[in-house]
Amino acid sequence: MPGLFRSVTLRGEKAARLSWGYQTAAVLRTWALSKSDKGEWTLTAGIDRADPFRLKQTPLQFTAPRPGGFFCFPVRAVTLGKESLIASLGPPEH
């Protein structure tokens, strides 16, 4: 896990989503996950489709495929734009 680094940015292009339980709140087209030197994770993503109601519910979870599994982060807050979103994330879950 990238906890070894002070700051890091991960990028992806498909199959990432924000979920509210089994419901999909947003399907992301491209995404970038960055960790600041203060340890704060931020997601910036282009949106393929999004459900504004579900994006306001809790708990939300960000998942994205990685080799051998998935990135999985709790979502603390989401700002929804027209074609993109920015989310503040908690620490990775697994």
Which one, 19 or 43, has the nearer CB to other proteins? 19
Residues near other proteins, by CB under 8 A: 17, 19-24, 53, 57
- Nearest of 73, 80, 76 to residue 10 by alpha carbon: 73
Which one, 33 or 60, has the nearer CB to other proteins? 60
Which one, 6 or 49, has the nearer CB to other proteins? 49
CB neighbours of 30 closer than 8 A, spacing ≥ 6?
A: 11, 12, 13, 45, 46
Which one, 22 or 38, has the nearer CB to other proteins? 22
CB neighbours of 47 closer than 8 A, spacing ≥ 6?
A: 26, 27, 28, 29, 80, 83, 84, 85
CB of 57 to other proteins, least distance (A): 8
CB of 5 to other proteins, least distance (A): 30
CB of 3 to other proteins, least distance (A): 27
Instruction: Determine how many CB atoms are found less than 10 A away from the CB of residue 10.
Output: 15
